[in-house]
Chains A and B, each alone.
Chain A
Amino acid sequence: MDALIIVFVTGLISMFIAMAKKPVLVLATAMIGLSSALALMINQWWTGTGFIQLNYEGLLFDKPSILYSSLAISFVLLIIAGGYSYFKQEVEHTGEYISLLIFSLVGAMCMIAFTDLFMFFLGLEILSIPIYVMVGSKKRDILSTEASLKYFFTGSLATGILLFGTAWVYGATGSFKINEISAAILDGSAKGALLNVGILIMMAAFLFKVGAAPFHFWSPDVYGGAPTIVTGFMAAVVKLAGLFAFLKLFTFTFWGAYPLWSGALFGIIILTVIVGNLSALAQTRFKRMLAFSSIANAGYALIAIMNQSNWSTWNLWMYIYGYGFAIIALIIISLLVNDENDSIEGFRGVGRKNPFIGFVLTVSLLSLAGVPPLAGFFGKYMVFAAAFKQYPVLVITAIATSGIGMVYYLRFFMTAMAKEENESTVEKLKPSILQTIVLLICAIALLIGGYIAY
């Protein structure tokens, strides 16, 4: 709870300190605040209690919540540090960019730690509304505006659908608390028809938010039009919060109705991994490719939610760990390359211009493709291995499509490592010190992923 308060206060302070028109102050505030929140989270992990004990039962930072919140805070730290060179371009807006990202993180943490549907709904909205604004933050850019409008309409449609589902579940069980809902479903006192409709409607809204396949149509447009750093935030933090809330709500709360939603989810996962990977093959723009890759990745992560293992929380965490760090590294490299058309061809020769960036790019792409010593492999392995006994067809489809995924990751890798035709015009890519540190942290996190997994 104390970490949540610290994160919120950090957001407030960095918003107001921006009036001094010194971007570096905002950065320092954000870094210090988020690092101390992370430290508090780690402290709470070891001691079991936070410094502030509030007698409020809507939020509970138990061990899984701490694990996921720490990961979310680390992602936001890396994104703010890596995107600082972009944020400071417009001095008068630096504070807004950074504080909106932090407020969004507050929402993500509420979504991770919720124990009743009040906090879940509020967290979802606190997460989403700042992102609607951030997506449109390039005010004069037509693409950014369009992306923002599309994200707003699909997002609020999903909110409406989610609330409708919540109302039906409330009507069936008479409670918003997830303990009481799950107890009511298990002992059969919930009313069948109302409950089934409610659960299916809520699932549709969730699939909208995480961008799974029949509901994914908005995501390539929005990812493609948003400013690069916001794309990274959506791909890493929003997916993390959405998937964990999905896990908590379905695998734990709606456990009694498992036969109902697992069948629907089964088909959706197969559709998602196929559509995501096949569409990513055809893309020529980097951010659109990333969007389809994140759709496919959401499909793999949903497998962790499907299976009945006690370890699914940990498996999903490991999966998002490998995926998130790789995405953040790629996004920051794309920010450095700064190709106007955002085309994959713009990355030609990046690895040769700067060997360090080439190394980080290699590590993150191989991790996304799922090559053994890296974190992405362990995430995939754990998720697939846990589900294999129960759903062999699902896992085989997922493995086959991740083979397709390897094609476009490696094609991108070949482009980035290719020799430039006219070497004389090549100018060196110069990451700032902060960006170097961030890229280094991402690469290390991906390399040591295997040790964390055991």
Chain B
Amino acid sequence: MVLGSIFNAGVSIEYYIVLSTILFVIGAIGVMVRRNAIILLMCIELMLNAVNLLMVAFSTYFGKADGQIFVFFIMVVAAAEATVGLSILVMAYRNIRTTDVGLFNKLKG
């Protein structure tokens, strides 16, 4: 699989895998350690974009279009999810007056 080259630019698929894994891990760690809900949303977007990058890279590598079509689906779903997420956040802000997810702790016990 190392043999494939993308866009005839000599960038092998490995670099795309490594780059998107790094982006994905940054996003996942961000979701786990950050406390501001808006930044959490951004981190989730980052994760999804890392996936998009990987999908497009593989799609070009195989010379098939289906990976790129999947990316369109991911974009649409990410938009829908962000919409719902932001509205939930607005509702939460109205009730609790904070976007700090650490303060949402009424349900324990």
Contacts and interface: CB of A to CB of B under 8 A. Distances in A.
Interface residues of B, number: 43
Contacts of B8: none
Interface in A151-191: 152-153, 156-157, 159-161, 163-164, 166-168, 170-171, 174-176, 191
Given A136-B88, A149-B101, A163-B51, A129 B107 contact: no
A170 B31 contact: no
Contacts of A167: 20, 51, 54-55, 58
B-side binding surface: helix, strand, loop or mixed? helix
A145 B48 contact: no
Interface string B75-95: 001001100110011011001
A157 B95 CA distance: 24
17 contacts: A122-B73, A125-B77, A125-B80, A129-B80, A129-B81, A129-B84, A132-B88, A140-B95, A143-B106, A146-B107, A148-B91, A149-B88, A149-B89, A159-B48, A163-B74, A170-B70, A191-B1
A149 B50 contact: no
A142 interface: yes
Contacts of B77: 121-122, 125, 159
B101 A153 contact: yes
A152 B88 contact: yes
Given A140-B95, A143-B106, A224-B107, A160 B51 contact: yes
B81 A125 contact: yes
Nearest to A135: B88
A153 B107 CA distance: 16
A148 B88 contact: yes
Contacts of B27: 160
Interface in B48-68: 48, 50-51, 54-55, 58, 61-62, 64, 66-67
A166 B81 CA distance: 19
Contacts of B96: 142, 145-146
A-side binding surface: helix, strand, loop or mixed? helix
Contacts of B89: 149
B66 to A, nearest CB: 6
B81 A159 contact: yes
Contacts of B47: 157, 160-161, 164
Contacts of A118: 66, 69-70, 73
* Most chain B CB atoms below 10 A, which of A118, A122, A125: A125
Contact of B31 (A122, A129, A139, A157): A157
Contacts of B15: none
Interface size class for chain A?
Answer: 35 or more
Contacts of B88: 132-133, 136, 145, 148-149, 152
A221 interface: yes
Contacts of A133: 84, 88
A225 interface: yes
A147 interface: yes
Contact of A147 (B58, B80, B107): B107
Contact of B64 (A129, A148, A174, A224): A174
Contacts of A224: 107
A133 B83 CA distance: 11
B6 interface: no
Given A129-B84, A156-B85, A157-B31, A146 B1 contact: no
Contact of A146 (B24, B28, B69, B106): B106
Contact of B70 (A125, A140, A176): A176
Contacts of B101: 149, 153
Contacts of A88: none
Given A142-B96, A171-B61, 10 more contacts: A122-B77, A132-B85, A142-B106, A148-B92, A152-B84, A161-B28, A170-B58, A191-B1, A194-B1, A221-B108
